[in-house]
Amino acid sequence: MLAERREPSSEPEPEFVGLVERAQAGDRDAFGRLFRMFEPTVRGIALGRVAPDQARDVIHDVFLTVLRRLGSLRVALAFPTWLACIARNRAIDHARRSTPIREPDERSLGVVSLDERALGILREIQALPRGYSEVLVLRFVEGMTGPEIALRTGMTEGSVRVKLSRGLKLLRHRLGEGGRDVG
């Protein structure tokens, strides 16, 4: 039996691939563009685990790590998955060393105000099982679509849809009659 012949993908290469390759060659502008492109992803991953005022520290730590280790990344197309893994690990490390969510320095978040209800909801999202909090924050805080979350985290679109659906169901339960009062 002959092996099935696969046609090359007709999808264009994602923009970040060229940026990664240029950044690996020392192009600082390319690294800056990668930062701007993926900072919302890293912030979303961080907010899934740490207090808003600690998210900046996680972001900073992640991109310093990426800058130091970018040369070791062999396949530029794997950048989003690699970055998300680093972000998850750094967020977990920060969460282990930190205190529970408290009132943030709102200027550091780039927002006008966060009320206690929003912080309570964020606490409830963070209390969800691993994986659900991350996709919920990326979707509802960072405003990413399911396909964007998949592209930027290395998950499949189907996995993102399932995690969003199940995560929302769990969050509604936690915030509803069976959940705790968060405000």
Q: What pLDDT, on a 0 to 100 scale, did the predictor assign at position 135?
A: 93
Burial class of residue 35 (count of CB atoms within 10 Å of its CB; 0-12, 13-18, 19+): middle
Q: Residue 53: what pLDDT?
A: 86
Q: Are 16 and 37 in contact (CB under 8 A)?
A: yes
pLDDT digits (tens, 9 = 90+) for 42-79: 999 999 999 888 999 999 999 999 999 999 999 999 99
Higher pLDDT, 32 or 53: 32
Look over the chain and give the mean of its residue pLDDT values, rounded to a whole number.
Answer: 83
Cβ burial, residue 160 (10 Å; 0-12/13-18/19+): buried
Q: How is residue 21 written in tokens? A: 């390759």
Percent of the chain topping pLDDT 70: 81
Residue 178 has pLDDT above 80, yes or no: no
pLDDT one-digit tens code per residue, 77-110? 999 999 999 999 999 999 888 755 444 444 444 4
pLDDT band at 20 (very low <50, low <70, confident <90, very high): very high
Domains of the chain: 14-99 (1.10.1740.10), 115-183 (1.10.10.10)
**pLDDT at residue number 2:** 41
The pLDDT, as a whole number, for residue 12 is: 74
